[in-house]
Structure 1
Amino acid sequence: MADKVTVTVIVDNYIDIFLPSKVQAAYPFPGTGSRLLAEQGLSLGVEVWNDQSVIRVLYDFGRSGTVFPHNAALLNIDLGRLEHLVLSHGHVDHYGAVQHVLENTEKSRLYLHPASDRKRYVRAPAGDMVGPWEIPAELIRRFETRVTFNTGPFRIASDTILSGEIRRQTDFEEGMPNAFAELGGLLVHDDIPDDQALMINLEGRGIVVITGCCHAGLVNTVLHAQELFPGRPVHAVIGGFHLNTAKERQMNETVNFLRTLDIRYLAALHCTGYWASRMLMDRFPDQWIPGTVGARISL
């Protein structure tokens, strides 16, 4: 089992350089922190310590392709030391700088689901389709010797697992109704099967669940983690929860489920949404860790 986990927020939708640091989270401050940038996207640097050894995982790559390298340099993220690159799913706000990272790391391996390369669209409120976005197929071919596709759980290390496809068990988590993809020449609803989380077994504490967007649902994702590490408590959930359009029932069911876990830390990032974040902060004041670009969370 892992001894320690640290999560550095390299890209997120939000930045605050005046948050007071605490034991579990060190926040950026004026000076270098003033030059950090936010964008609609996510990238997390994850270090998993086991005894004297450490594995370094980059989970997602932001959106623009420019904010990630800018922030990574300011946060002293050494790309050359990265071993594992994980794409949570093939949405543009998660794969933006993947080419930059692949070109600037020699030893790293990229893990992603085969459906990550779908040509994707979003239906706007007025009904028109926005897009398409897709990972360039030629990029995957160029680095194919360093790419691993997984649909099921994949063990990066003895204590660190990629979830693979997450089973949809609840009836209140609707996914993303306005997501579409081109499949077989037709534009159809996209159930985003490539959505996957990073799950770490932390000795003496429990499971750390790291999520990109939770398109499978936050509850479904945590249930999946409990299946992969049976009998272990859930220690922390960190990442995007995609609750920005969640209905009242989904929010209430999610809060009630989290209360059953006796969870220790909760850090909502990226796509969680203002109202959902506020509700989670109100319901879990002792567990809440504010998320922002530059935060370094220690577990």
Structure 2
Amino acid sequence: MPVTPTVSTLAELAELAGVSVATVSRSLAGNTVIAKATRERIVALASEHGFQVNQAARNFRLGRTGAIGVVLPLGHEAEQHLSDPFFMSLLGPLADAIADRGLDLLLSRVIPKDDRWLDAIVDAGRVDGVIVVGQSNQIDAIERVAKRYRPIVVWGADMRDKTQITVGTDNIAGGRIAAEHLLAQGRRRLAFFGNTDVPEFAARYAGFQQALAAAGSEQAALVPVHLTSEASFSAIEQYLASHASPDGIVAASDVIAMSALRALTGRGKRVPQDVGVVGYDDVVIAMHTNPPLTTVRQDVERGAVTMVDLLFRRIAGEDVESVAMQPELILRASA
């Protein structure tokens, strides 16, 4: 039985197909300039003769790397890790959306030492575009790069007065509906737990304040709690030891809310009878706390797909706008 000869170069495949090298290259790339029948015939010939595109060489020729950088700047939370429940919930859908486009993901967790950390990433030539997860306290560094580097999209607070293209939840609305829910239950001694140096958290606190003002309530407590589990638990425990307990807590994240549940239980407070607690994010474990956590949901799967779509459109030269998704209050037993 005759053995089908293999071909290893575009020129060999072009000679076999009776077309130019350019036609073969465009057909294998799926370029619709080439007639569909011709494309399908060349792809079939390539498969039959064991031809494989040298993707590295093709990327080099096109000036591409075949990778997208996903960067997590932790200027405000140096102790936060990739295992954080929110990061885990977002990174999975991001990786899937990037892989579906045929590219690799290059992940970086950055503790900024200066304001040039993002410049170093985009100028290294290792990626075709960058997704920044969270603005931290690095708005100026991100904005400076966004003004000169087009293929960049940021997960974070909506910055309509900035150049950077962002995807995220309407954080003001999220903070507002969380506080409105507690106020509707007759709770009046509210507290907001979160570090407002973070733009997203500052917006959530602004919404929280809007709800209080609309209800004619007195100014509530702001407790600048950090994001990691142990740091937030320690800060909340210290606050409860030296202040009268609030009867309602809006936490800037589910991790902070879970720390609040633990600290309240330790002080003999019943949730929700004595204190209602509302988190933010709706990470997977939020439904498994005791009691299950009422929280404001961010649709991170939709957000991940949207970020990748906007990034690839920017790489293609399109103009795009920031996207602010609507939050959703998820009612469970904690409030």
TM-score (norm 1): 0.29
Higher helix share: 2
Larger radius of gyration: 2
TM-score (norm 2): 0.27
